[in-house]
Amino acid sequence: KGNLSCLPSLQIEIDLGKKCWYHSVFACPILRQQTSESNPPMKLICGHVISRDALNKLTNAGKLKCPYCPMEQNPSDAKQIFF
């Protein structure tokens, strides 16, 4: 009896059918609002994700301090992400 956790994983695609389809939703942890096409989720260079509206509100003098870690960054370095 071997330990299965040490075996390499085999990745396969499984079709669960339409009844298992869903749409991912992201709510901004800062503004507590669901993101949308006009207010998409943005990944900061530190890896944290906030909405574009939150990014704009947190930007001060052309700099953005992440609300979760001490990293300061340029707001233009944030990238829109898609779920």
Given a contact cutoff of 8 angstroms between Cβ atoms, the answer to whether 42 and 50 are in contact is: yes
Name the residue range of residue 53's domain.
Answer: 39-83
Is residue 75 situated within a structural domain? yes
| Strands lying side by side in the sheet with 79-80 | 49-51, 41-43, 79-80
Is residue 11 situated within a structural domain? no
Verdict on whether the full-model pTM lies above 0.85: no
Is residue 8 situated within a structural domain? no
Q: Residue 34: phi, psi to the nearest 5?
A: -70, 135
pLDDT, tens digit (0-9, with 9 covering 90-100), for 19-68: 776 667 899 999 999 999 999 999 999 999 999 999 999 999 999 999 99
Is residue 74 situated within a structural domain? yes
Number of domains in the chain: 1
Closest CA to 83 of 31, 29, 22, 18: 22
